[in-house]
Amino acid sequence: METRSAAKKRKLLILYNQKDQVDDDDESEKSNRSRSIDRISDLPDAVLHHILFLLPIKNVAQTSVLSKRWRSIWSSFPDLDFTTLTRPPTKPHSSSSSKSLFQNSKETDFITQVLTLRDKHSDIRILRFGSRLSFSRLNGLIRLAIRRNVQELDVEVATEDYFNFPRCVIASDSLRIFKLKSRYPGFRLPPSSVMTSGFKSLHSLSLSRIVLYNQPSLCDMFGESAFPMLKKLSLDACFGLKYLRIGCRALEDLTLENCFQLQGLDVLGGKLERLRIVRCFDAYADKSWVKIGGPRLRIILWENNAITDSSSLDNLSSLQEASIGFFLLQEDISVAKLQSVSNLFMGLYHAHCLTLDTQCIEILSNSNYFAVYLHPFNNLKSLELHTGFNKNNVPGLACIFRSSPMLHTLTLNIINDYKIERRQWNKDLWEMSNSEEEKFWESQTQALRSFLQNLTVVKIQGFLECENEVSLAKFLLKHGKALQEMILCTGHCKARYSLQRQKIRSQMMGFSWASSNAKIAFH
């Protein structure tokens, strides 16, 4: 028989369980209500636009069917990147890859429809598309964008024939960034007077595959009075361009690529900070020249260019970083071109960081090229050299080391050409033969005294333990009083060579070191 106290406890337990059930039901109802609230739609338009910009344009368009709110978001969406409509090619270098970069006719119709039905009061911030279409249709798309006050316009186009530069963009007051890249055959520019009369608000201009035959006036298109707000300029594949003068007063970044017919270049910018010239100049021209001046110029990238007959680099007192590379023909280089190389290097003496390609090393190493004089790089702290590092390159390396008295970090990228025979280092045979490499480096000890007293870090990539590589490493260890770290990167090697390499490494560890703080690492 249940006692009175037990019955009371049982009733309390039932009431407690009932209360828990009610609380659980309330929580479930609250959870269901919270799930039904569309918190994303309550976000401001600017936040939703930012989120949607992370999605492909097709997915953004699909959100317009959700509600009136989302239709409004889509019709006012400011960043239209139609390049996401196409899939990237599976084989980038295949013959069909260029076609896959462009929309088909149906997708181009979609672009036209979006621009036509756009909210009249919603401006376009970014418009990007690539298409294969006629010039009239291209001009129509660009006109629609200009009417919507587009700020950044990025177009890559292929046409059946040459087309004229769309003049509707010239008078735009809203356009800040304009990129026009043409596939074959290219496009023509209007007269210089038309180009320089517009673009008053343009900050960045990029043009690719321009046809400039019989238009000599365009060489002065980028004068001081033209493009008053232009900060960044990129010109690629300018066919027929022989002379170019650039002096835009606000220009900070200039890139010039693939202008193989160029014979004369004059760059003068009071605010220019970065200059990149790649694969330019006519190597067969009777007289070619380059003149560069910029008190604020910090970075120069001079890559794979033909050597001009004259070079002048003036007032580069702010230069921090320079990378130099040449394209050399098989025939001998004239004395004028050698003097031009000297003048080019002389203009870089303020640099703090310098990279030289293998052609530079060959010019400085050839016994016929000692007309090239290197002005001391007294500010140089970091040096990177690309070289085949055969015995013919050794004089050029020494010449560069002598001109770098305050260098801290040296990086050698060895280009291993397996067509060139390189003697593997053998300690016993090497010491018995008293190698020429060792004699040469020892003869340079006094001339390289300042270089050896300041060098702190040495990194050699592509180190294969050949005679010339080991002899240089031994020389730097023996005389580098400030040396703290030497990193030798051998890369991948076959297993049968691993034992031999371990033997060579142990022998290198036994070399005499001038610095007690030096460490050597093999990677």
Residue 74 structure tokens: 């889509």
CA nearest neighbour of 437 among 447, 456, 422, 416 = 422
DSSP helix/strand/coil, 419: coil
Residues 423 and 306 both lie in one domain: no
SS3 content of the chain, % helix, strand, coil (to 5): 35, 25, 40
Do the domain assignments include residue 142? yes
10 Å Cβ neighbour count for 77?
A: 24
> Average pLDDT for residues 322-348, to the nearest whole number?
87
Q: What angle do CA 64, 68, 74 make, to 5 degrees?
A: 35
Do the domain assignments include residue 66? yes
Do the domain assignments include residue 407? yes
**What gap in Å lies between CA 24 and CA 20, rounded to an integer?**
6
> Average pLDDT for residues 309-329, to the nearest whole number?
93
- Residue 224 binned pLDDT confidence (cut-offs 50, 70, 90): confident
- State what percent of residues in the chain have pLDDT above 70: 81
Say if residue 119's pLDDT is above 80: no
Do the domain assignments include residue 455? yes
**What gap in Å lies between CA 44 and CA 51, rounded to an integer?**
11
Its pTM stands at 0.84
> Average pLDDT for residues 140-165, to the nearest whole number?
92
Residues 119 and 156 both lie in one domain: yes
Provide the domain count of the chain: 3
Do the domain assignments include residue 38? no
pLDDT tens digits, 230-248: 999 999 999 999 999 999 9
- Residue 275 binned pLDDT confidence (cut-offs 50, 70, 90): very high
- Residue pair 214/188 in contact (Cβ under 8 Å)? The answer is no
Residue 498 Cα distances to 42, 471, 472, angstroms:
65, 20, 22
> Average pLDDT for residues 85-106, to the nearest whole number?
51
- Residue 14 binned pLDDT confidence (cut-offs 50, 70, 90): low
* Final residue before a domain boundary, out of 172, 206, 235: 172
Say what the pLDDT of residue 94 is.
38
Residues 230 and 81 both lie in one domain: no
- Residue 6 binned pLDDT confidence (cut-offs 50, 70, 90): low
Residues 141 and 241 both lie in one domain: no
**What gap in Å lies between CA 303 and CA 351, rounded to an integer?**
16
Of 407 and 183, more confident: 407
**What gap in Å lies between CA 389 and CA 469, rounded to an integer?**
8
Residues 162 and 278 both lie in one domain: no
CA nearest neighbour of 400 among 448, 457, 435, 437 = 448
Residues 243 and 205 both lie in one domain: yes
- Residue 109 binned pLDDT confidence (cut-offs 50, 70, 90): confident
Residues 236 and 123 both lie in one domain: no
pLDDT tens digits, 280-301: 999 988 899 999 999 999 999 9
Of 9 and 472, more confident: 472
Say what the pLDDT of residue 498 is.
65
Residues 157 and 216 both lie in one domain: no
Task: For 423-466, list the strands marked E by DSSP.
Answer: 457-461
Counts of helices then strands in the chain (DSSP H, E): 16, 22
- Residue 55 binned pLDDT confidence (cut-offs 50, 70, 90): confident
Report for 40-49, 371-380, 451-460, 503-512: range of highest mean pLDDT = 451-460
Say what the pLDDT of residue 495 is.
45
Do the domain assignments include residue 23? no
Residues 380 and 500 both lie in one domain: yes
Residues 313 and 295 both lie in one domain: yes
* Final residue before a domain boundary, out of 304, 324, 351: 351
* Final residue before a domain boundary, out of 172, 199, 225: 172
Do the domain assignments include residue 446? yes
Say what the pLDDT of residue 99 is.
46
Do the domain assignments include residue 21? no
Structural domain that includes position 411: 361-523
pLDDT tens digits, 187-204: 999 988 888 888 989 999
Residue 131 Cα distances to 72, 104, 235, 335, 358, angstroms:
27, 7, 21, 49, 40
Say if residue 359's pLDDT is above 80: yes
Q: Give me the count of residues in the chain.
A: 523
Say what the pLDDT of residue 372 is.
67
Say what the pLDDT of residue 63 is.
84
Say what the pLDDT of residue 408 is.
97
Say if residue 319's pLDDT is above 50: yes
Report for 47-56, 94-103, 155-164: range of highest mean pLDDT = 155-164
Residues 285 and 227 both lie in one domain: yes
Residue 389 structure tokens: 């590092």
What's phi and psi for 171, nearest 5 deg? -90, 5
Residues 430 and 488 both lie in one domain: yes
**What gap in Å lies between CA 253 and CA 205, rounded to an integer?**
10
